[in-house]
Amino acid sequence: MAASADRVEVFISESRIRERVEQLGREIARDHQGQATTMVGVLKGSFIFLADLVRAVDLPLEVDFIGASSYEGTTTTGEVRVTRDLSRPVEGRHLVLVEDILDTGLTMRRLLDHLQAHRPASLKICCLLEKPARARVRIPVDYRGFLIGDEFVVGYGLDKDEQHRNLPYVGVVRSAT
């Protein structure tokens, strides 16, 4: 396939992300002292955020992944499927679900219901980005990176048709037409 023709403008810089991720890591560590903790990344979009975040949490912890799929390109189908489950039992453990972005909230709602069925001791939500104007269900976010407007963002793990995940910043796509 040809290289992407999109132009991406920096929206949240690498240094602002780094600073915020370190703060979130300190908050998560403070709240989970002495607790058996598993940080669960939502594939694929959270992979870079999770990798940076777990290194900012100064606690013994486990890492796992869960897969969810709802989007085709940039438009939602409204249906959310769990495409990959946790690799180990988490009953009695303290979970932090790590998501790249909360848009309508439908993916997170589905994942919360799914994870509660695994009977964790607690379940907290950490998301890098949240678009409050687009929320269709209320999700109680415990650790939030940045509130943003109704923009389609890419980079730092987030894609548009599988492109741009490797950008070190969060950017906005300006389509070259």
User: Residues with catalytic annotation?
Assistant: 103
Residue 101 binding ligand 5GP, by CB under 6 A: yes
As beta bridge partners, residue 175 has none
Nearer to ligand 5GP, 62 or 71 (CB): 71
Q: Based on CB atoms, which residue is closest to ligand 5GP, 92 or 149? A: 149
Q: How far is the CB of 94 from ligand 5GP (least distance, A)?
A: 22
Residues in 59-88 at the binding interface with ligand 5GP, rule: CB under 6 A? 70-71, 76
- For position 105 contacting ligand 5GP by CB under 6 A, the verdict is yes
Angle at which helix 47-55 crosses helix 14-31, to 10 degrees, equals 60
- Cβ neighbours for 51, distance < 8 A, ≥ 6 positions apart: none
Query: How many Å apart are CA 111 and CA 108, to the nearest integer?
Result: 5
By the 10 Å C-beta count (0-12 exposed, 13-18 middle, 19+ buried), 166 is classed as exposed
Question: Cβ(165)–Cβ(44) under 8 Å?
Answer: yes
Determine, following the binding rule CB under 6 A, whether residue 154 of this chain makes contact with ligand 5GP: yes
Cβ 4 to ligand 5GP, closest distance in Å? 13
Q: Does 37 bind ligand 5GP (CB under 6 A)?
A: no
**Residue ranges binding ligand 5GP (CB under 6 A):** 45, 70-71, 76, 99-108, 152-154, 158-160
